[in-house]
A and B are shown apart, each in its own frame.
Chain A
Amino acid sequence: MGKRALAGAVVVFLMGAAAYASFYIAPEEKTMHVLQRIFYFHAATAWAGMTALFIGFVANLLYVWRREGKWDALGVACAEVGLACFTVVLITGPIWAKPAWGIYWTWDARLTSTFILWLLYVSYLLLRTLIEEPDRRALLSALFGIFAFIDVPIVFGAIRWWRTQHPAPVIMGGPGSGLDPTMSKVFFFSVFALHCLVVFLINERYRLEKLRAKFEIVRREAEAI
């Protein structure tokens, strides 16, 4: 318990530091001014969410291979945390877009594909609620999780190919794109902070899921008697 509380405190501190850095340390961007500061959270959350989904994908593979309940618990923990991240991304996106582009939503490639990604993982969680038997639920949702994850790059690729009227990615978006060195330091610090947050949340959710599975067994045994 002490260890987890300490981890929580560290995560809170890191998040606070990242917020401070993005407001007070990062220099003001020339065209978007203060508005651009949301970028440190918006983009970093997307990166952390992607990490969560990737860990979930590995957990799904491990479940199919080993058939151990812990991998199922990790899979659902990662999917939920990943989904939460992308929900934040989809909310902070329009907040940034409205003043920057004048509209909340545009069917731009990255918005659209993020939304599809979000839908895929909503379907994953929905599927889990619709299968009663725990082993079957674990196996089938793990398989769907695998299919969903390998679909993600194809979705991003296809949508990007045909719907690119967007600003090029600022980071790793090819030659010419790039951040001011301080900006990039702040950005990578918030990426780090959000990864810590995501790992912390996954761990908490994973413990909860394992408890829930245990409780489920006890409940079923009681029902059987």
Chain B
Amino acid sequence: MSLLSNTAVLLGKELRTEFRSRELLTTTFIFILTIIVLFSFTFDPTSDESRRFAPGLFWLAFLFASSLMLQSCFLREQPNDTLSALRLSVSDPFSIFLAKLAANALFLLLTELLLLPFFTVMYNVPVLPVLHWLALVFFLASLGISIAGTALSAISAQARMRELLLPLLMLPLLTPILVASAEATKALLDRAPYVPWAGMGFLTVFDVVFLTAIWLFGEYLLEE
């Protein structure tokens, strides 16, 4: 009970600080937009080619962007040692993780949805008929990226070379997310679209496994 209310309060704080400056959202959005434009040079972006390559590239762009975006979520707490204040105040440290990963998942999802129109117009793939399934895939994948990424950014925030370290820890660990979400997106953008149960299944398994891992081990990541 207090876990949920603490999480809600902390999530409110994360959202409030972000929407006050919108720094993270704006930079991530522009970053991915840049990559999406640059990708167009790496292959011939006709409709058929796009269907084959774009989903993978799209998710790769998200993974890279999120490995940059997630840097700050624990780093922000360091200058004033606010993480200690949170640890002293909450009844279960898991709520700190839950709030952060929920906020990160929301930010990621928001950026993805904002980028979707650009993506569909520039790469000439119709998304409207499968939008609801696509949204579900985006949701599951963003959640997975945030769950594992938030835990890893708690690790990298305490190490040297953290800007390079987080992608190195994150990208191999998130391979299943990349493979599953790219395949699921490809299935939905196919000329004969089909519901990617396998892809969504893998994403769900990843989410559940890593959420459980953080629930079990998260508090040790915050130890001093």
Contacts of B183 in A (CB 8 A): 162
Q: Contact mask A112-153 → B, CB, 8 Å, 1/0?
A: 000010011001001100111000100110011011101100
Instruction: Report which residue of B159, B209, B213 has the largest number of chain A beta carbons within 10 angstroms of its beta carbon.
Output: B159
Question: Per a CB cutoff under 8 Å, which of A64, A119, A150, A161 touches B172?
Answer: A119
Asked if A130 contacts B198 (CB within 8 A), the reply is no
Given A120-B173, A127-B165, A130-B160 in contact, is the A154-B209 Cβ separation under 8 Å?
yes
User: Which residues in B have their C-beta under 8 angstroms from that of A150?
Assistant: 209-210, 213
Interface presence of B179 (CB below 8 A)? yes
A154 in complex: contacting residue of B155, B159, B205, B220, CB < 8 Å? B205
Minimum distance in angstroms from A56 CB to a CB of chain B:
16
Contact A155 B151 (CB under 8 A): no
- Assess A130 versus B159: contact at CB under 8 Å? Given A120-B172, A144-B169: yes
- Is the interface on chain B under 10, 10 to 19, 20 to 34, or 35 or more residues? 20 to 34
Chain A residue at minimum C-beta to C-beta distance from B151: A147
Q: Determine whether the beta carbon of A116 is less than 8 Å from that of B172.
A: yes
Q: Does B202 contact A (CB under 8 A)?
A: yes
Q: Is B58's CB within 8 Å of the partner chain A?
A: no
- Whether B158 sits at the interface, judged by CB under 8 Å, is yes
Kindly report which residue of chain A lies nearest to residue B212, judged by CB atoms.
Answer: A150
Q: Are A158's CB and B217's CB within 8 A?
A: no
Contacts of A130 in B (CB 8 A): 159-161, 165
Tell whether, in the assembled complex, residue A161 and residue B159 are in contact, meaning their CB atoms are under 8 Å apart: no
Residues of B within 8 A of A146 (CB): 213, 217
B220 close to A139 (CB less than 8 A):
yes
A132 lies within 8 A of B155 (CB): no
The answer to whether the Cβ of A159 comes within 8 Å of any Cβ in the partner chain is: yes
Contact with A along B165-199 (1 / 0, CB 8 A): 10011001101100110010000000000000010
Q: Are A158 and B180 in contact (CB under 8 A)?
A: yes
Residue from the list A116, A127, A132, A136 in contact with B175, Cβ < 8 A? A116
Chain B residue with Cβ nearest A154: B176
Given A131-B158, A143-B221, A148-B173, residue A126 in contact with residue B165 (CB < 8 A)? yes
Taken together as a complex, chains A and B put the C-alpha atoms of A158 and B179 apart, in Å, by: 7
* A157 in contact (CB, < 8 A): yes
Q: Within the assembled complex, what's the spacing in Å between the Cα atoms of A130 and B158?
A: 9
Chain A residues positioned under 8 Å from B205 (CB to CB): 154
Closest beta carbon of chain B to A216's beta carbon, Å: 17
Q: When the two chains form the complex, which single residue of A143, A151, A162 contacts B173, counting CB atoms closer than 8 Å?
A: A151
Measured CB to CB, the residues of A under 8 A from B are 64, 116, 119-120, 123, 126-127, 130-132, 136, 139-140, 143-144, 146-148, 150-151, 154-155, 157-159, 161-163
10 A–B contacts, CB within 8 A, in A order = A64-B217, A127-B155, A130-B160, A130-B165, A151-B176, A155-B176, A157-B176, A158-B175, A159-B175, A162-B183
